[in-house]
Amino acid sequence: MGKNTQLRHINYGLFVARLLDQIIVVDIECTCWEGKPPPGQESEIIEVGLCTLAAASGVRLERRSLLVRPTRSTVSPFCTQLTTLTQAMVETGVSFSRVCAILQDEYRSSERVWATFGDYDRQQFQRQCLASGIVYPFSPSHINIKTLFGLAHRLRHEIGMPQALEMLGLPLEGTHHRGGDDAWNAARVLAAVLWKRG
């Protein structure tokens, strides 16, 4: 698939009606290193965490973690220390193309509003889809929770998710830097901003 065709797929959501029943909150974990990647390796997604949020109420509906089998890198000791994910764990995961299919088939991600805490996750998905020749699974209707939170609280600069939860007087649930838990917590921050829900 050529780059122009891929970009047309990324923009596909511009031409379809948006489903406004749920917001899909996404958090990814990627292979990483303390310094530069080893020769021949590059950072790629190894976990996609999801939390669906009811748009009418701000209630969190589902927490899910999808492990992704890497093909261009391995999990470093530094990555395991940060995320708790090991090479053995991610080798039991599914392919990146399968994860993109799950997003579209089970969550209708190309038709729904979706959100991430910061912009890294969105950009990494775009990079990996383009590099792999896989159709981008999301609509262009994206909410950057980190920016939204900063604007809503009139902060001078953006802050991390643990700090946002602390400002809201809410505990961080689960393990930080695990996709499913971080998506769950990010959804709680979004709900607090949009629906004033703790």
DSSP secondary structure string, 115-154? EESSSHHHHHHHHHHHHHT----S-S-EEEHHHHHHHHTT
How many independent structural domains does the chain possess? Answer: 1
Query: Do 175 and 81 meet the contact criterion of CB atoms below 8 Å apart?
Result: no
Arithmetic mean of pLDDT over the chain: 93
pTM of the model: 0.91
pLDDT given for residue 8 in this prediction: 42
Average pLDDT over every residue of 10-32: 79
CATH code (residue 27): 3.30.420.10
pLDDT tens, position by position, 56-111: 999 999 999 999 999 999 999 999 999 999 999 999 999 999 999 999 999 999 99
DSSP letter at 94 equals: B
pLDDT tier for residue 197 given thresholds of 50, 70 and 90: low
pLDDT of residue 196: 82
User: What's the whole-number mean pLDDT along residues 31-38?
Assistant: 96
**Strand, coil or helix: what is 106?**
helix
pLDDT at 10 over 60: no
Q: How confident is the model at residue 16 (pLDDT cuts 50, 70, 90)?
A: low
CA dist., res. 139 & res. 10, Å (int): 7
What is the average per-residue pLDDT within 123-144? 97
Helix ranges (DSSP H) in the chain = 3-10, 77-83, 87-90, 96-107, 120-132, 145-152, 161-168, 179-195
pLDDT of 70 reads: 98
User: What is d(CA 32, CA 34) in angstroms, rounded to the nearest whole number?
Assistant: 7
> Domain range holding 132?
3-195
In this prediction, residue 17 carries a pLDDT of 55
